[in-house]
Structure 1
Amino acid sequence: MDNEILIVGAGPTGLTLAVDLARRGVDHRIVDRDTEFAGSRGKGIQPRTLEVFADLGVLDAAQKHGGPYPPMRGYQDGQVAWERVMAPTVDARPDVPYPNPLMLPQWRTAEILRDKLTELGGRVEAGVEFQGFTQDSDGVTAMLDGQPVRARYLVGADGGRSVVRKATGVEFIGETFEQHRIQIADVRVTGLDRDHWHIWTNAEGPVLALCPMAGTDTFQLTTTRYDSVDLPGLVREIAGFTVTDVGWSSQWRANVRMVDRYRIGRVFLAGDAAHVHTPAGGQGLNTGVQDAYNLGWKLASGSEELLDSYESERLPIAADVLGISNKLFTRGIDRRDDAMDRSDPVLRQLGLHYRDSKLSVDTRSSPGSLRAGDRAPDGLAGSRRIHEALRGPQFTVLTFGAASYPGGVVVTDAPAYDIEDAYVVVRPDGYIGMIATEAADVRQYLGRW
């Protein structure tokens, strides 16, 4: 084999997977057709993704360059018509260390992950084009720039127009709403304050928005005038401000699509290659990161049973998240003054779970509110946090009350765990694999997985 894992696509999804594999010492190669990685694109990092970033060692950099969402200010007929916050800022809790979304331009997120990958000894090969593949019982032969490359597994993380997905023949099921299109760009604007997300509306709804990008001197411009090529003129006409520079720009259509298979033999799909969302609720990038975080430890194990669980766990999640973002998008169109509750744990991806997975086992006679398959909440384990103890590529055994286990982490104060005299086995991706009352069950579980 030339490589164990070949990753096509170096956006946040592919990079998350590469970082996770690199820290495990798993041989891999990550390539991308593009030579530049620009654009603010997806700018919202949800609390669950911040926990993933903490585990991967990139949270400090994300927080250094990112920031909170500014309050929104709406204008109509040249006057301020309304002000509101996207979501209330909430305090950290013992079980949720990072409760608020972080604004971080997508190019910066990718840059931070690339820097981490370099630190771990990896690198992105830019300007490399994937041109198809064949596979057999032993591996995959991919064509890169006309040359065959052999890998044990191939991962398509190459976006909504995924060449890898198209090469598999898997259908991209869903619909495109042609009537809902916007122009999006990164611009610099003179004289506009950076303390608000500015939105200009007319009787039909939003026409232009300028959101200051945290950690930069640019604004993310969005407009429903998607046929406009003169963005400076548009901003001057509607808002009365001067655009001094237009950087990355793109036209966007409302796509709601997903695959019905995440695994095709030795090929896996992740991120936008597997599901595309509306931007409402800030779910797309985050769901892709979670795909990669779920897949990394399973690829490292090489277990066919674990690799099969990637599809069975992530496909239902994507379907649910797709429905959430589409519902929010539709509500945003139908009720433009609707103050949606963006502090909902579902939107922040803290309530996503794998309770129905074959990897989720609970041997208690009377399960509590916290179940196998749930995200492992934070808490105290002596002088350190539980999440600190979970960091790294390993399974972790938490012990409660009189329970004791060699190498286990003794939990001392964790209100979110309604557990007494029992064991909690936490998977490498921070989800609870098992809750048991007997140490023998824990040994059997760890021996299997």
Structure 2
Amino acid sequence: MELNSVKETDVLIVGAGPTGLALAVDLARRGVGALVVEKADGLFPGSRGKGLQPRTMEVFDDLGVVGPVLAAGGRAPLGLIWKDGERLDEHDMFDRAEPTDAEPYGEPWLLPQWRTQEILLARLRQLGGDVAFGQEVTAIAQDVDGVTAWQRSGTAVRARYAVAADGGRSTVRTALGIDMDGESIDPSPILVADVRIPDLDRDNWHMFGGDGGYTAICPLPGTEDFQLVAQFVTGTPDISAESVRALVAERTHLTADQVTEVRWASDFRPRVALAERFRDGRIFLAGDAAHIHSPAGGQGLNTSVQDAYNLGWKLGQVLREGAPPALLDTYEEERRPIAADMLGLSSRIHRGEAKRGSTTRQLGLGYRGGPLATGSAGALTAGDRAPDGLLADGSRLFDVFRGPHFTLLAVGTDAELPPLPGPVHIHRTEPYEVYGKGLFLVRPDGYVGWAGEDAAGLGDYLANVTRW
């Protein structure tokens, strides 16, 4: 292949969706060079993944974007069931939870996917990074020293590692020959569109039944738009603007003319699939390239962002802090079981076998028993999410954790500590019931990696995750 040029970078990220952008932000704040390439000419224009779960909000807090996310989004409204033009019943779409000191984000936050991506891109640019749009990867290969990706433009990229964040039809995954084990969970195709309906109130998530399949119209906070989702028990969706307007008129009390604009539309068949592996040598799969979810329960985008969050600190430790390359093996070991569990949950919600309850908030997910979980102390076991908390000076534990470092949290103990490497910050605090008493090494992604009543064994643990 004739090449116009060869670019070099530490990490090549293929795809500028939420996964790729979140990973790029995390790497940028670690000083890791990353090149994000996206075959489209701009960011994804639709609202598709509109629900941000509390755990993802915590990730965004750490990445420095939760302020814009809160400002641009809003709470999910109550669901409203309609029949024959009459309002029948309101109901809550989620089991809501009030924020607490330990869990500051209590419920899902609605934000159109395109807005989430805009916010992440703005943060990436603030950190000195960017996205190369209109750059399609057509082939990829690797050797013992790195990865080479060829682009349709005639440009090649040489990187030490590469991450496929290029969606469910991942070109990179296909090139690697990694199979996806999955199934269709519903034979009925679904249409999703962003529409403007000025005459429809924005106080409810509007639900309509019918023989043709369910229809839902949800207001999108921070915009004038609604997200329209329509199931097709018979027939196939037509995503033209004229047909979307006709569909609304057929299934609701609204007229076609009341849909003043169709801003984006797409269709899909609900399916679930899991890649047989998340790593091939120096190339990693993340997000939809690794796992495909039903939209029910709002797990897909959230699980994907958390893939990026798990992988980002590990790449940073290996590339900038001298950690053993074997640390990267733990990405698949930790994330593939989580993805499998979330696929099962979203499938059960889609089939009506489970509710959108506490599990969908993803605050209870963790890595107990995993390759980077050692010990226990007080109320926590290594692998647990590290809770937030209000400190005596008015700051929060999340303020202490925020950044690319590890935090050794000494709670209610004067235990002697050995000298620690620079990437480990030490913070002592009073007893706190959600932790109990003890020493807790909090990983850069907010999970307890090591815990103990004294520092015995801490050095051995740190040798596996940083230069020691």
- Per the TM superposition, whether the score is higher than 0.5 is yes
Aligned to 2:249: 236
What does residue 4 of structure 2 align with? none
Worse overlay, 399-408 or 60-69: 399-408
CA distance in 1, matches of 2:343, 2:96: 25
Q: Report what 1:134 is aligned to.
A: 141
Q: CA deviation at 1:387?
A: 1.2
User: Match of 2:369, as an amino acid?
Assistant: D
- In the TM superposition, residue 250 of structure 1 has moved relative to its aligned partner by 0.4
| 2:287 counterpart of 1:276 | no
Residue of structure 2 equivalent to 1:90: 97
- Asked if 1:409 corresponds to 2:416, the answer is no
* Post-superposition offset of 1:178: 5.8
Counterparts of 1:30-69 in structure 2, within 5 Å, are: 30-36=36-42, 37-69=44-76
For the pair 1:342 / 2:352, whether they are aligned, the reply is: no
Shift of 1:125: 0.6
TM-score (norm 2): 0.90
Contact residue 13 and residue 34 of structure 2 kept, 8 A? yes
2:274 matched to 1:258?
Answer: yes
Q: Does 1:393 align with 2:404?
A: yes
Q: Deviations over 1:348-369 (max 9, x none)?
A: 010111112121100x5xx655
TM-fit CA distance, 1:131: 0.6
The equivalent position to 2:119 in structure 1, one of 112, 115, 135, is 112
Distance 1:11 1:413 in 2: 41
CA distance in 2, matches of 1:329, 1:369: 35
1:403 CA displacement: 3.0
**Letter aligned with residue 30 of structure 1:** V
Q: Which stretch of the first structure deviates more once superposed, 179-188 or 74-83? A: 74-83
Say which of 77, 81, 84 aligns to 1:70: 77
Cα distance change, pair 397–221 in 1 and its aligned pair in 2 (3 A) = same
Shift of 1:180: 2.4
Residue 305 of structure 1: aligned partner: 326
Q: Which one-letter code corresponds to 2:172 in the other structure?
A: V
Identity over aligned pairs, percent: 48
Structure 2 CA distance for partners of 1:233 and 1:203, relative to 1, 3 Å:
closer
1:432 to 437, 448, 454: 448
Q: Is the 8 A contact 1:94 1:414 kept in 2?
A: no
Kindly indicate whether the alpha-carbon contact (under 8 Å) linking 1:21 and 1:300 is maintained by their aligned counterparts in 2.
yes
Shift of the alpha carbon at 1:99?
1.0
Tell me, yes or no, if structure 1 residue 163 matches structure 2 residue 181: no
CA contact (8 A) 2:55 2:362 kept: yes
Q: Judge which range, 111-120 or 84-93, deviates more.
A: 84-93
Q: Secondary structure at the match of 1:60?
A: helix
Corresponding residue SS for 1:86: coil
How far off its partner does 1:108 sit?
0.3
Work out the CA distance in 2 between the residues paired with 1:434 and 1:178.
42
1:292 aligns with 2:311: no
Shift of 1:342: 2.6
Question: SS of the counterpart of 1:159?
Answer: coil
Give 1:355's match in structure 2, choosing from 368, 378, 388.
368
Letter in 2 for 1:26: V
RMSD: 1.7
- The SS at the match of 2:268 is strand
Q: Deviation per CA, 1:412-438, whole angstroms, max 9, x where unpaired?
A: 253211x32x21000010000000122
Alignment deviations for residues 22-76 of structure 1 (CA, whole Å, 9 cap, x no partner): 0011011001001132000000000000000000000000000000001111112
Helix, strand or coil at the partner of 2:209: strand
CA positional deviation for 1:341? 4.3
Aligned counterpart, 2:422: none
For residue 153 of structure 1, what is the amino acid of its counterpart?
Y
**Residue of structure 2 in register with 1:191 after alignment:** 199
Q: List gaps (5 residues or longer) in structure 1.
A: 333-339
Kindly provide the amino acid, as one letter, of the partner of residue 397 in structure 2.
I
Selected match of 1:152 from 142, 148, 160: 160
Kept in 2, the 8 Å contact 1:423–1:442? The answer is no
Task: Give the SS at the match of 2:380.
Answer: coil
Q: Could you tell which deviates more after superposition, 227-236 or 266-275? A: 227-236
Q: What is residue 325 of structure 1 aligned with on the other side? A: 346
Post-superposition offset of 1:151: 0.6
The alpha-carbon deviation at position 377 of structure 1 amounts to 0.8
User: Which residue identity is paired with 2:184?
Assistant: T
Q: Equivalent residue for 1:28?
A: 34
Q: What do the CA deviations read for 1:367-392 (whole angstroms, capped 9, x no partner)?
A: 65521001101123432211110000
1:205 CA drift (Å) = 5.2
Q: Is the Cα contact below 8 Å between 1:260 and 1:315 reproduced in 2? A: no
Change (3 A) 1:413 1:38: farther
Question: Residue 29 of structure 1 aligns to a residue in which SS?
Answer: strand
Shift of 1:292: 0.2
Contact 1:380–1:412 (Cα < 8 Å) also in 2: no
Deviations 1:296-338 (A, max 9, x none): 0111122322100000000000000000000110117xxxxxx
CA distance in 2, matches of 1:190, 1:118: 35
1:237 is displaced (CA, Å) by 2.8
8 A contact 2:15–2:36 mirrored in 1: yes
* Residues paired across the two proteins, number: 435
Work out the CA distance in 1 between the residues paired with 2:128 and 2:265.
Answer: 33
Distance 2:196 2:412 in 1: 57
Query: CA shift at 1:204, angstroms?
Result: 6.8
Q: Distance in 1 between matches of 2:342 and 2:25?
A: 24
Question: Are the counterparts in 1 of residues 166 and 288 from structure 2 also a CA contact under 8 Å?
Answer: yes
TM-score (structure 1 length as normaliser): 0.93
Deviates more, 1:183-192 or 1:318-327: 183-192
Name the CA distance, whole Å, in 1 between partners of 2:392 and 2:457: 25
Which residue number in structure 2 is paired with residue 337 of structure 1? none
Question: Helix, strand or coil: the match of 1:331?
Answer: coil
Q: CA deviation at 1:175?
A: 1.1
Deviation of 1:244 (Å):
0.8
Q: State yes or no: 1:18 paired with 2:30.
A: no
The 8 Å contact of residues 349 and 355 in structure 2, kept in 1 or not, is answered as no
1:221 is aligned to 228
The answer (yes or no) to whether the contact 2:9–2:159 under 8 Å persists in 1 is yes
